[in-house]
Amino acid sequence: RFSDGEEMIGTVTNNSPFGIFGKLTKPLPDSPFTKPIPIALASQVKEGPATILTVVENDKVEQFDVEIVSNVPQKFPATKGFVIRVTDPRLLKKTGGIVQGMSGSPIIQDGKLVGAVTHVFVNDPTSGYGVHIEWMLQEAGIDLYGRQKKAS
């Protein structure tokens, strides 16, 4: 279950390598997004500037600059889909880069959700991997391609 102190705000239905999935029963407080954000498929992610949303101080979600260094072409789900590098001086000063607890932080490029932070490079904490949102949504059972299910 999700809780904010003692109050339950949702339930967890699946915990997998592609994320923790569930249903919120109440809105998240102080959410930076009040409307849905479009997504980009794995093939649409490109090298270049992006941002992550993460919490490094108190409970405040902040936006920080990163760069997508490379995108790994994938036809099948994998948790290491693209490489990111932290470029934001504020985040580098506060944390030195990607730290424990940032896993799941959304990655946004050109106004679209492209994925989430999954791993940090042990030998370079300024860089790490992201998982494509396409695979996360597929794991959640969301049909992105408009395929009809075959009758059994």
Q: What is the pLDDT of residues 74-115, one digit of tens each?
A: 888 888 999 999 999 999 999 999 998 899 999 999 999 999
Is residue 49 one of the residues assigned to a domain?
A: yes
Number of domains comprising the chain: 1
Q: What is the pTM of this model?
A: 0.86
Is 65 inside a domain boundary?
yes
The CATH number linked to 104 is 2.40.10.10
**φ, ψ at 12 (rounded to 5°):** -100, 130
Q: Which residue segment(s) compose the domain that 56 sits in?
A: 33-139
DSSP string, 53-65: EEEEETTEEEEEE
Q: Tell me, yes or no, whether 38 lies in a domain.
A: yes
Six-digit token string for 120? 């940090």
The residue type of 26 is K
